[in-house]
A and B are shown apart, each in its own frame.
Chain A
C-alpha cells in the first residue's frame, strides 16, 4: 500500500515536470533546435536506444563507475579502519585529507589525462577521487564513535588485535561506513559524467559533449534524463543493499 502510494507520487511529480516543460516549450518561442519539446526528447531517447548507442554508452559508463566507486569504497574503508585504530597517524593524515577533500575531482582532470592518458582510466580516477574522501573520513569518524564498552568487553575476554579489528571495530563501524558510502555514491555519479567529457570517446559524458558538438539538443536532453534515472536507480539499489546488510548486522531496524 505504501509502495503504491510512493509510485503514485513519483508518477504525479514527473507528470507535473513534463507538463511544465511542455508549457514552457509552447509559450516561449524558442527554436526547437535550442529547446526541444518533451516529445522530441522522448523520440531521441527511443532512437538512441534502438540504434544501440545508448546501451553501449551506458554499459561503458557503468563499467567505469563500478570500478572507480567500488575500489574507492574498499580502499578508503580499509585505510579508514587503519587510521581510526591509529589516531596518532591520523593526526598527520587528517590535515592532508582536509586539504584535498574540498578540491573538485575535475580540477585534477588535466593531470589525470596527462598521467593516465586517454581511455577508461581518467574517468575511473575521477570517480575514485570523488568517492574516496567521503568514505575515508566517515570511516575514521565511525571508528572513533564506537562505544568504548565494546573495547572493555574485548579486553576482558582477551580478544586482541588483529581479531578485534574484524570482530569488533569493523562490524561496529559498519553502519556508519555504509552511510558514508551511500553519500559518496551520489557525488561519484555526478562526477562520472563530468569525467567522461575529457579524454574519452564513449560513455554518457561523452554523449553529452558529442550531442552538443552536433547541436542535437534532443539527444543531449535524452542523455541527461538517462543520467538522472540511472543515478536514482543506483541510489535505490544501494539503499536496498544497505537495508538488507544492516538487517543481517543487527537483526532489524534500531
Chain B
C-alpha cells in the first residue's frame, strides 16, 4: 500500500445550476519520502487536486487516502504552502513560525527555541523580529516554509510556492527546497506550471491536461544526484517533458506506471 493513494478521483463544482468538472478519474500513488511535481497548464485542476489531498476541498467521487485513511480535513501532519505565503502581517517572523506551534499545542516554553531553529534553517536568522511587510517575496515564502517545517509534518503540499518570485530568487529557493526535502525527509507534493522547475525538483512528474483536468502522464525523472540546470541530460529530459505536453493521450500509455 502506498502512502498517498488517489483512486478514480473526480471533483466537480456546482455553480448556479451548472456542473463544472475540475478533474476526472485521477489515479495517482505517492510513496513516503517522494518528491512529486504536478505539472500542467493554468486551469487544469492542479490546485483542486492538491486541495483534495490537503483536505481543503474533498473529492466528489473516488477516494483520496493518506496512510490508509480517507482525507477528510486539513491536519498539521500535512502542511500546505500557498503561493501568496499566508503570513500574518501583525506578527513578526518568529511569531509567525510560532503560530503553527501554538496550533499543535507545543508548550510555550519550547516554542521559541523551535521557531528559532527553523528560522535559522531557512536562512533568516537576521530577520527574526522583522514583519512580513518588510521582507521580499522570497523571504516571506521562506518564513512560510519555516512555519510549515516547525510543526514537523509528514507531508508538504506546495501550490506554486515560487510563482510570484523572480527567476534568481526562484532558483535559490528551489535549491533550498531540494536540500530540505533530502535532509528533513518529507514527502513533498509540489504544484507548478514551470517545466524546468519540475525537472529540477521532482522524483516523479505528474503531467495534467485540461478540459476536464486529468492525468496525462506520470514520468519518473531519470536524473541522479546533483542536478545541473544546463547539463545536457537535464535539457534533454526537459525536452522530453515538453514533447509529452503536445502528444495526444493515446500515445502516452507507455508512460503510465
Q: Which residues of A pack against B, CB within 8 Å?
A: 149-150, 152-159, 163, 167-168, 171-172, 174, 248-252, 254
16 contacts between A and B (CB under 8 A): A149-B84, A149-B86, A150-B86, A152-B74, A155-B56, A156-B74, A156-B76, A157-B104, A157-B151, A159-B99, A167-B99, A249-B90, A250-B132, A251-B133, A251-B134, A254-B133
Q: Which of B64-93 contact A (CB under 8 A)?
A: 73-76, 78-80, 82, 84, 86, 88-90, 92
Establish whether residues B133 and A152, one from each chain, have CB atoms under 8 Å apart when the complex forms: no
Let me know if B86 and A250 touch, CB within 8 A. Answer: no
Mark B residues whose CB is within 8 Å of A.
54, 56, 73-76, 78-80, 82, 84, 86, 88-90, 92, 99-100, 102-105, 130-134, 151
Q: Which residues of B contact A248 (CB under 8 A)?
A: 90
| A interface, over-half SS | helix
Nearest residue, chain B, Cβ from A159: B103
Q: Contacts A149-B82, A250-B89, A250-B90 hold; do A157 and B99 have CB atoms under 8 A apart?
A: yes
B160 to chain A, nearest CB (A): 14
Chain B residues positioned under 8 Å from A149 (CB to CB): 82, 84, 86
CB < 8 Å: which of B56, B84, B90, B103 contacts A157?
B103
| Residues in A whose Cβ lies below 8 Å from that of B99 | 153, 157, 159, 167
Q: How far is the CB of A175 from chain B (nearest CB, A)?
A: 9
Beyond A149-B86, A152-B86, A250-B90, is A157–B133 a contact (Cβ under 8 Å)? no
Instruction: Apart from A158-B76, A251-B134, list 5 A-B contacts with CB within 8 A.
Output: A153-B86, A156-B79, A158-B103, A167-B99, A250-B90
Q: Shortest CB–CB separation between residue A250 and chain B, in angstroms?
A: 4
Cβ contact within 8 Å between A252 and B86: no
Nearest CB in chain B: distance from A219 CB, A: 48
Contacts of B133 on A, CB cut-off 8 Å?
A: 250-252, 254
B78 neighbours in A (Cβ, 8 Å): 156
* CB atoms of A158 and B75 under 8 A apart: yes
Closest 6 CB pairs of A and B: A251-B131, A157-B103, A159-B103, A157-B100, A250-B89, A158-B103
Report the separation of the CA atoms of residues A250 and B151 in the bound assembly, to the nearest whole angstrom.
24
Our pick among A152, A163, A174, A250 for the contact of B80 (Cβ within 8 Å) is A152
Bound Cα distance from A174 to B82, whole angstroms: 24
State in angstroms the CA–CA spacing of A250 and B100 once bound together.
Answer: 19
Contact status A174-B102, CB under 8 Å: no
Inter-chain CA distance A163–B99, complex, in Å, is 11
Do A150 and B88 touch (CB < 8 A)?
yes
Contact of B131 with A171 in the complex, beta carbons under 8 Å: no
Interface centre among A156, A163, A171, A172 (most CB of B within 10 A): A156
Least CB distance from B211 to A in Å reads: 27
* Nearest B-chain residue to A253, judged by Cβ: B133
Tell me, in angstroms, the Cα distance from A26 to B150 when the chains sit together: 77
Least Cβ–Cβ distance between B124 and chain A, in angstroms: 15
Nearest CB of chain A from residue B152's CB, rounded to whole Å? 12
- Closest CB-CB distance, B189 to chain A, in whole Å? 14
Q: Are A249 and B79 in contact, with the CB atoms below 8 A?
A: no
Shortest distance between the CB of B232 and any CB in chain A (Å): 41
Which single residue of chain A is at the shortest CB-CB distance from B92?
A251
Query: Could you say which of B73, B88, B90, B102 contacts A155, with CB atoms under 8 Å apart?
Result: B73
Q: List B contacts of A171 (CB < 8 A).
A: 88, 90
Q: How far is B84's CA from A60's CA once the two chains are assembled, in angstroms?
A: 51
Check B131 against A250 for contact (C-beta < 8 Å). yes
Residues of B within 8 A of A167 (CB): 99, 102
Max count, chain A CB within 10 A of own CB: residue among B56, B82, B90, B100: B90
**Nearest Cβ on chain A to B44's Cβ, whole angstroms:** 21
Q: Within the assembled complex, what's the spacing in Å between the Cα atoms of A32 and B130?
A: 62
Given contact pairs A156-B54, A159-B103, A249 touches B89 in the complex (Cβ within 8 A): yes
Docked CA distance A175–B115 (Å): 27
A21 to B142, CA, bound (A): 62
Enumerate chain A residues within 8 angstroms of B89, measured Cβ to Cβ.
249-251
Of chain A, the residue at the smallest CB distance from B96 is A153
Instruction: State in angstroms the CA–CA spacing of A254 and B92 once bound together.
Output: 15
Q: What is the CA–CA distance of A80 and B76 in the complex, to the nearest angstrom?
A: 30
Query: Contacts of A252 on B, CB cut-off 8 Å?
Result: 131, 133-134
